[in-house]
Amino acid sequence: MTDRPLLTIDDIHVVYDVDPPVHAVRGVSLELRRGEILGLAGESGCGKTTLAYGIQRLLKPPAVISADGVVFHDASGEDIDITKLGTDELRRFRWNKVSMVFQGAMNALNPVKNIGSQLDDVFVTHRPSMSATERREECAELLDIVQVGRDRLRSFPHELSGGMRQRVMIAMALALKPQLMIMDEPTTALDVLIQREILEQISELRVQFGFSVIFITHDLPLLLEISDRIAVMRAGEVVELDTPANIYHGAAHEYTRTLLSSFPSLTGDRGGFVRGTQTRDGAAR
């Protein structure tokens, strides 16, 4: 990780223009550094996924997005304001610069197409100059990288375990070597052992390829383990942004302390909570 910014978000708002209007994201400003894993935590409905979609302008009406700027600082030295990109420019930007593993991605694969053809679609769409042989080799290498194995190119989604399907989705997000990967609840519905394997692989791939990660989850203890910094969201706002150590040992915001207290400790007295979230008499706060 470096101190050089990759993405600068300045006062972004997302309002769903219904009756009455719903202000889903309220003036969020963040800076993501190169090579950083930024955890985005908060309860369901707090605006985490809406923020991620808004950054990429993936939201459709009645959502209305406004911001002073969402600037991607490309490795080439160019500063790209995503809010000002046209339709064709956005199509070239997405997946090439920023990719996303969507919530529920484990079940997002087309059930009637094999894995190889679904990976191949990425290159057909975004790298039309590549030959069929080159595309096939790239797809095989991607499956090797995520430890699924190239022998699974002809497999259909129902022939893969949940963890393997999730790895395929990560491979798809890696295909064009983006500088930023946004991961929305990527370990949901996986058992704890597979979750651990997926998380370790994400960390290894981040080091290998040098991309940054925005990791979205309601599981704050998980983010304490894998993140370089954590942003805590509540009601559309970022209420706390700090390192995992500072949040764990002395969260500044009452809501962050409440989130921490909702997870039981593996050690100590039965009914105890994680460190830093008890009052002096032992009651949760």
pLDDT single digits (tens) 260-277: 888 777 666 665 444 444
Q: What is the DSSP letter of 104?
A: T
Tens digits of residue pLDDT in 85-123 = 999 999 999 999 999 998 877 778 999 999 999 999 999
The whole-number pLDDT of residue 270 equals: 62
User: Hey, what are 3's tokens?
Assistant: 């101190």
pLDDT digits (tens, 9 = 90+) for 170-225: 999 999 999 999 999 988 778 888 888 999 999 999 999 999 999 999 889 899 99
Q: How far is CA 235 from CA 18, 42, 53, 207, in A?
A: 18, 9, 16, 33
Q: What residue ranges define each of the domains in the chain, with the CATH number in brackets? A: 1-97+178-239 (3.40.50.300), 106-177 (no CATH)
The CA-based angle 65-75-176, given to 5 degrees, is 80
What are the DSSP calls for 129-181, one per residue? TS-HHHHHHHHHHHHHHTTS-GGGTT--GGGS-HHHHHHHHHHHHHTT--SEE
What residues does 237 pair with on adjacent strands? Answer: 234
